[in-house]
Amino acid sequence: MILTTTNDIQGFEILAYKGVVTAEVVYGTNALRDFFAGIRDIIGGRTGSYEKIFEKGHQEAMEELEQRAKKLGADAVIGINLDTGTINVDEKGVLLLITASGTAVKLR
């Protein structure tokens, strides 16, 4: 399966558009990780623990996108867009949201 952010794939012809596919990954936050991230905000520097979560989330979203495209009989997903955000649960809790979307296509 080819996954790409471009709208076409060099050397291939798009035979059919199978539809838009989406995938969502949601992670809960962790109080200890949040504490250390807050310290990083004060003293500066990168927050490695959250970077790892987003990296893992992007990977999982792409894997889910691929599985959903396969169910449609697609050979590729083009025009992929990855997005991140948060969902506020209450005044103390936040969920991390990672989404991926693209167009499933059949190639020749």
> For the segment 27-45, what is each residue's pLDDT rounded down to a tens digit?
876 544 555 455 555 555 5
In the chain, the number of structural domains is: 1
Q: What is the CATH number of the domain that holds 31?
A: 3.30.110.70
Query: Is 92 a residue whose pLDDT tops 90?
Result: no
Q: Which domain holds residue 75?
A: 2-107
Which candidate, 55, 69, 70, places its Cα nearest to that of 25? 55
- Do 75 and 107 form a contact (C-beta atoms < 8 A)? yes
| Structure confidence by residue, pLDDT tens digits, 41-75 | 555 556 666 778 888 999 999 999 999 999 999 99
Mean pLDDT score of the chain? 85
Stated as kind and residue range, the H or E segment containing 36 is: helix 31-43
Lowest mean pLDDT among 36-40, 51-55, 93-97, 99-103: 36-40
Pairing of strands 2-3, 76-88: parallel
Provide the residue type at 104 as one letter: A
Cα 87 from Cα 95, distance rounded (Å) = 5
Task: Give the pLDDT mean for 5-34.
Answer: 87
pTM over 0.95, yes/no: no
What residues form DSSP beta bridges with 82? 100
